Structure 1
Amino acid sequence: MAEHYSSFEPKGTRWLLQRITAAFLVVVLAYHFLLLHFVNHAADITFAGTQVRMSQVGYFSTMVLFLVTAAFHGVNGVYNALVNQGLDGTQKTVVKWSLVAAGTLLVVQGTRVASAMTGLF
């Protein structure tokens, strides 16, 4: 039988965070689809409506947390998939910091867009 291998340390912090972020993303993604695809259909979504939703502190906070969580979950997952494929040494370090930079830029730009959508900035 094949041996199970994972770059995640069993029950380690990154392993736990990957599971927690997955659970959070499932719930928030379901909320997103329900609100923006079933309650309000695509034709009903307007820039003005987005500004109204984003100006609500709870909605804004949820969307920014959704962005941060999705970025972490994606970067962490890609990094560990590459490590599972045998990435090591200098390449591992370069990939890790490149993914950290890309994730950070994504969160910064996404937060800037979300802030602009509030209509307050």
Structure 2
Amino acid sequence: MAERYSSFQQGGTMWLLQRITAAFLIVVLAFHFFLLHFVHHADEVSFLMSSGRMETWTYYSLMILFLLTATFHGVNGVYNALINQGLSGTKRTVIKWTLILASIILIVQGFRTANAWAGIPLY
């Protein structure tokens, strides 16, 4: 029988966070799909409508949480997949810090975009 190998330590914090963020993303993506494909069809969605949704603190908060969890889940998954493929040493360190930097840039730009849609000043 084949051995199961994972860079996650089962029962560890990162293992648990990966599963929690996956469950959260499934729920938020279902909400998004329902709202933007059944309640409002794609041809009805406009920038003004999106801006109006972002001006409510509940929707804004949900989208910020979505940004943070999606970034964590994606980057953590890619990093661990690379470790599972044998990434180690200096390459592992370089990839880790590159992914961290990319995450920071993505989150900062995501906040800037969300704030612009919500009418929150960027300064």
Report the TM-score range of the alignment, normalised by the length of the smaller protein.
Answer: over 0.9
Structure-2 residue corresponding to 1:34: 34
SS state at 1:115 partner = helix
Runs of 4 or more consecutive aligned structure 1 residues displaced over 3 Å after TM superposition = none
Within a 5 Å distance, the mapping from 1:58-77 to structure 2 comes to 58-77=58-77
Structure-2 residue corresponding to 1:50: 50
SS state at 2:11 partner = coil
The number of aligned residues is: 121
In 1, Cα distance between equivalents of 2:117 and 2:8: 37
Within a 5 Å distance, the mapping from 1:1-121 to structure 2 comes to 1-121=1-121
Tell me the amino acid that sits aligned with residue 86 of structure 2. G
* C-alpha displacement of 1:120: 3.4
In 2, Cα distance between equivalents of 1:7 and 1:16: 13
- After superposition, the CA RMSD in angstroms is 0.7
In 2, Cα distance between equivalents of 1:28 and 1:120: 23
Sequence identity percentage: 62
SS state at 1:87 partner = coil
In 2, Cα distance between equivalents of 1:45 and 1:53: 11
In 2, Cα distance between equivalents of 1:33 and 1:72: 21
In 1, Cα distance between equivalents of 2:64 and 2:75: 17
TM-score (norm 1): 0.98
Deviations 1:87-113 (A, max 9, x none): 001111110110011111111101100
Tell me the amino acid that sits aligned with residue 57 of structure 1. W
SS state at 2:3 partner = coil
**Residue segments in structure 1 that go unaligned for 5+ positions in a row:** none
